[in-house]
Amino acid sequence: MSDRKPIVGGNWKMNTNRAESAELARGVVDGLRDVTNVDVAVFPPYPYLLAVRAILRERSSSLRLGAQDVYHKPDGAYTGEVSTEMLRDCGVEIVLCGHSERRHVLGESDAVVNLKLRAIVDSGMEAVLCVGETLDERIAGHTDPVIQRQVRAGLADVTGDHVSSVTIAYEPVWAIGTGKTATPDDAQSVHANIRRLIAGMYGQDTAERMRIMYGGSVKPSNAAELFKAPDVDGGLIGGASLKVGEFVPIVRAAMAAARGQV
């Protein structure tokens, strides 16, 4: 890890109920009171955003409220969709786009991901652009071209000013929810390539400032090793973010990595 402030996100996906989301939010807030050198965000399901926001406020927490997705149109006849303004109205500051489950289960294309990303940053929120190759793509040796395509397409027409509101999450699809994790060397290599690509697109300074998180079966037992890699600036956590006893130690691993203690 470098002098970039690490960021760790808890993507709760389509999990928890009203009581569980409140309990999880309280547990995470209370467990991370002393953490200042890591940005921490939670991404609850839409119906629980307001309840989680109320908990963050009542406890004066610095945890950031995130949303798992958004629709790019400002309003209108888009049944079932949610706009950036609705999210902002609910206190959301940071939004995922292009998560592999959106791409591969819900069929979102690179072009749709780009529309969403632009809507998020245009509205003044931060975007997390998720990219990652499938197992078949990795076996075929296509990891780098796939990631390059997703990053270039995701950031198409995003200006240098707006790109400072973007974090990239590298989440190899084969590592998500499978218990298989990229080795720190594999993650480092892809992250370094993404940073080189950003340098080519936006210049070295922007690339040095851009945070690139790793996601895919991050656990307390492997977080420290992953976060030690120089281009890994934190993690996007799925399954382990649903348990306070796992998410808190993962954030603490990022905190220790940022202090050079691992």
Under the rule (CB under 6 A), what is the footprint of ligand 13P? Answer: 11, 99, 171, 176-177, 215-218, 236-240
In terms of Cα–Cα distance, which of 214, 225, 212, 211 is closest to 253? 225
Alpha helix stretches (DSSP H) within the chain: 18-31, 49-58, 84-89, 100-104, 110-122, 135-139, 143-154, 160-163, 184-202, 204-209, 220-228, 244-258
Pick the closer one to ligand 13P by CB: 122 or 225. Answer: 225
Give the residue at shortest CB distance from ligand 13P.
238
Q: Tell the smallest beta-carbon distance from residue 10 to ligand 13P (Å).
A: 9
Our answer to whether residue 246 is catalytic in this structure is no
Q: Tell the smallest beta-carbon distance from residue 194 to ligand 13P (Å).
A: 16
Question: Looking at 72, 99, 101, 108, which residue is catalytic?
Answer: 99
Residues 6+ apart with CB under 8 A from 140: none
Copy the structure tokens of residue 79: 């049944």
Our answer to whether residue 99 is catalytic in this structure is yes
Q: Tell the smallest beta-carbon distance from residue 223 to ligand 13P (Å).
A: 11
Pick the closer one to ligand 13P by CB: 97 or 237. Answer: 237
Pick the closer one to ligand 13P by CB: 202 or 213. Answer: 213
Q: Tell the smallest beta-carbon distance from residue 94 to ligand 13P (Å).
A: 13
Pick the closer one to ligand 13P by CB: 202 or 257. Answer: 257
Q: How many residues does the chain have?
A: 262
Question: Looking at 101, 137, 171, 246, which residue is catalytic?
Answer: 171
For 238, the enclosing helix (H) or strand (E) is none
Distance CA 4, CA 100 (A): 25
Question: Hey, how many other C-beta atoms are within 10 angstroms of the C-beta on 222?
Answer: 18
Active site residues: 99, 171
